[in-house]
Amino acid sequence: MKVGFAGLGAMGSAMAKNILQAGHTVMVWNRSPQAADDLVALGATRAADPTELAYVDVLISMLADDHATWSVIVESGLLNQMAPHAVHVNMATISVALAQQLDALHQARHVGYIAAPVLGRTEVAAAGQLNILAAGDAATLAKVQPLLDIMGQKTWYFGDTPAQANVVKIAANFTLASAIETMAEGAALVRNHGVGAQDFLSMLSGTLFNCPAYKNYGGMIAEERFSPAGFKLTLGLKDVSLALEASQQSRTPLPFAGVLRDNFIDAIAQGDGDLDWAGVATVSARRAGLK
């Protein structure tokens, strides 16, 4: 299968590498060309311009946000040059509004469109163990499922409208950000009563919340280990803002999302935007007089 891949950040590079090593022909593009060097050394073809990706069987994009996705897929002319019945798999976390707009544009061009954002950090992507949240036409999804199976351990299907996958990803990240915030506040509380954050968070992740998210992020908060970032604070703010945007669009109150947004802004205002988003815990610690 001839695959095009746009967006070679840490996640995208790992995903594209797995597809390439599975034996597919892969053409890659990134705004910063040097990001493609390692993949080209492994046998990928470098596209000089995003429109060169138009002549593939499946285009996969893993771009940073709404602006980057619109710029690369639409404004560049890439979508307009794609052959009818090719498939675009958009794996980025984007707004519900943009997801709906992209769906309409792809339908007008008779290009298949699947939304497939992912759960998992860079090391999970490298291992091909992502959880993939997919939505779109079931027959179209079946065409690209072999590629998704290379990148992920499981594909979760949420309906035939692509935006359904995007709202699930937004809700999942909102829920995860909420968990990080509650761990941070709980840790600040016990520290101010003489209990170590490590003791508290180890207990929490070994009993009431015995799951990877609490174990991983609890450890980061306890050790104040926020660099290097697997997922930056600035991206956390973006995703919480997407949740608020989706809530307004559907008239679904998300009162805690407003608290999270303000705390992320607070951390970024203190110069912590490049820290991992677990670094929002510094806000609770500072307000509690622990910093």
Q: Which of 17, 169, 232, 238 is catalytic?
A: 169
Sheet holding 130-134, edge to edge: 118-119, 130-134, 152-157
Q: What is the sign, positive or negative, of the torsion defined by CA atoms of 248, 237, 289, 189?
A: positive
Question: For residue 250, what are the CA distances in angstroms to 199, 213, 236?
Answer: 41, 28, 21
Question: For residue 90, what are the CA distances in angstroms to 134, 186, 211, 278?
Answer: 10, 37, 28, 26
Most distant CA pair in the chain: distance in Å?
Answer: 65
Nearest to 101 by CA among 80, 74, 129, 125: 74
Element (H, E) at 183: helix 163-191
In DSSP terms, 157 is beta-bridged to 134
Q: How far is it, in rounded angstroms, from Cα 268 to Cα 266?
A: 6
**165: Cβ contacts below 8 Å, ≥ 6 apart:** 99, 115, 116, 117, 133, 134, 135, 136, 158, 159
Q: How far is it, in rounded angstroms, from Cα 60 to Cα 79?
A: 12
Q: What is the sign, positive or negative, of the torsion defined by CA atoms of 212, 216, 217, 218?
A: positive
Q: How far is it, in rounded angstroms, from Cα 95 to Cα 161?
A: 14
Residue 291 among the catalytic residues: no
Where in the sequence numbering do the catalytic residues fall?
Answer: 169
